[in-house]
């Protein structure tokens, strides 16, 4: 596995300011708007297939009153994840992880794969992600990054796929963050860029971690965080952030 080459800009759930989040349409939009990588959220269906969905419930993005963990792959794959969005796009159904990887290859996009398990499915979700990556991740794409709010997911990923770099996600840099990141062998930390303080950013950097910030959609804010040491800006609007950052 090649070393991690973290890009400066990562499209959040694709380019979710412009297209329905976590859909193939959103990844096409991210590419069009200059993102070299995308972030997306993966979780398991009731029959153990990985699909892209942020929430535990299908309601917000598909209008269906059901939980992902209680719905089959076949049923979820029929759902339109873009009806709520406004404009309609090609490929706005709920995608699975494998077809997402195929599109990333076609577009030449790298990936920050956020393991976002349904409650109680932390280990199996991380293991399933590693299994798919080992089987089909294209060798001509950059090494993918695994990230999660859940230490259990990161520990399971470390166990089954130690060759994939990991980031801990902390909403705030507080409490035993160093110990938690170290325990899962994280090489970096993603944190909420609207909450993090300059001294916390400095502490993360001086502890030797790469630092990503989410979800930054305003150019001046992105530039300020970059100047304070952020290595990666995760954004719904990659074109906006791209035009605000020098080089």
CB 134 within 8 A of CB 143: no
Looking at beta carbons only, is 169 or 184 nearer to ligand G3P? 169
The residue written with tokens 């917000």 in the block is 60
Interface residue with ligand G3P among 18, 29, 30, 39 (CB under 6 A) is 39
Looking at beta carbons only, is 209 or 214 nearer to ligand G3P? 214
Give the per-residue contact string, 215-234, with ligand G3P (x = CB under 6 A; - = no). Answer: -------------------x
- 214 is a contact residue toward ligand G3P (CB under 6 A): yes
Q: Please, what is the angle between helix 122-136 and helix 97-107, to 10°? A: 40
Q: CA 83 to CA 68: how far, in whole Å?
A: 18
Looking at beta carbons only, is 74 or 150 nearer to Mg ion? 150
Q: CA 213 to CA 95: how far, in whole Å?
A: 25
Interface residue with ligand G3P among 23, 147, 168, 217 (CB under 6 A) is 147
The residues that touch Mg ion, with contacts defined as CB under 5 A, are: 41, 114
- 236 is a contact residue toward ligand G3P (CB under 6 A): no
- 38 is a contact residue toward ligand G3P (CB under 6 A): no
Shortest distance, CB of residue 96 to Mg ion, whole angstroms?
17
The residue written with tokens 């409490």 in the block is 175
173: nearest Cα among 228, 222, 212: 212
Q: Which of residues 102-131 bind ligand G3P (CB under 6 A)?
A: 114
Q: Which of residues 162-201 bind ligand G3P (CB under 6 A)?
A: 169, 190
List the single partner that 170 binds among Mg ion, ligand G3P, none, CB under 5 to 8 Å by kind.
none
Shortest distance, CB of residue 66 to ligand G3P, whole angstroms?
20
Residues that bind ligand G3P (CB under 6 A): 12, 39, 41, 54, 114, 147, 169, 190, 214, 234
């Amino acid at each position: 596995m090649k070393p991690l080459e973290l890009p400066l800009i990562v499209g959040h759930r694709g380019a979710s300011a412009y297209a329905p989040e976590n859909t193939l349409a959103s990844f096409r939009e991210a590419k069009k708007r200059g993102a070299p990588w995308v972030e997306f959220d993966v979780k398991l269906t009731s029959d153990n297939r990985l699909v892209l969905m942020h929430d535990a419930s299908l309601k917000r993005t598909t209008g269906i009153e059901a939980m992902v963990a209680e719905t089959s792959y076949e049923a979820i794959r029929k759902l339109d994840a873009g009806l709520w969005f406004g404009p309609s796009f090609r490929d706005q159904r709920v995608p699975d992880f494998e077809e997402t990887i195929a599109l990333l290859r076609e577009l030449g996009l790298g990936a920050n794969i956020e393991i976002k398990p349904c409650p109680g499915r932390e280990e199996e979700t991380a293991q399933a992600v590693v299994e798919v990556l080992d089987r089909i991740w294209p060798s001509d794409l950059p090494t993918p990054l695994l990230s999660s709010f859940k230490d259990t997911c990161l520990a399971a990923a470390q166990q089954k796929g130690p060759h994939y770099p990991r980031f801990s996600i902390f909403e705030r840099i507080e409490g035993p963050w160093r110990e938690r990141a170290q325990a899962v062998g994280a090489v970096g930390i993603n944190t909420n860029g609207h909450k993090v303080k300059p001294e916390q950013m400095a502490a993360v950097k001086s502890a030797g971690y790469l630092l990503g910030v989410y979800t930054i959609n305003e150019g001046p804010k992105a530039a300020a965080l970059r100047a304070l040491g952020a290595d990666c800006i995760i954004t719904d609007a990659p074109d906006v952030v791209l035009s605000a950052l020098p080089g």
